[in-house]
Amino acid sequence: MSKFTSPAFDPMDVSPRIGSGYPEPFQQGCEKREKRRLGEHGGLVNFGVNLTTLPPGQGSAIRHWHTMQDEFIFVVSGELTLITDSGEQVLTAGMCAAFPKNVPDGHCLVNRSGAPASYLEIGDRTPGDVGHYPDVDLVADGKTGTYVFTRKDGTPY
């Protein structure tokens, strides 16, 4: 139980969501990811803030980019490898990266170290977003307000 009173809270009091919402063929690599929805817990509606922890060998997501939503990450602890179209670079605590909407540069984070790593993930909730996954046959269609995963030709999983 937290010693804080609203609006303050201990992020570790927020239950983590383990894994991802990807269809079964794409679960591997993110199945142990822990995401704590801090913004939602605090009642935020215009943007999301997640504290995500990646155990060794796990990734943040499949490499992707968004049409309507900006994303920003800030590494809180540990070491993460950022993978984009430009290649790979190691990010450590205190470093950050920004991913503007509608820039088709797929990105993801992977923990290749031997210890857990955590980062804050901040993004807006602009409706009508579509997530593109350049390396696999997957699209996250959010045009109806809820993401629906399909193949690139529009057929469902």
Q: pLDDT class for 145, splitting at 50, 70, 90? A: confident
| Whole-structure pTM value | 0.94
List beta partners, residue 38: none
Query: SS3 for 141?
Result: strand
CATH class of 33-128: mainly beta
In the chain, domain spans: 33-128
Give the model confidence (pLDDT) of 131-143 as tens digits: 999 999 999 999 9
Residue 86, CA atoms < 13 Å, CB-side half-sphere: 6
Whole-number pLDDT of residue 1: 57
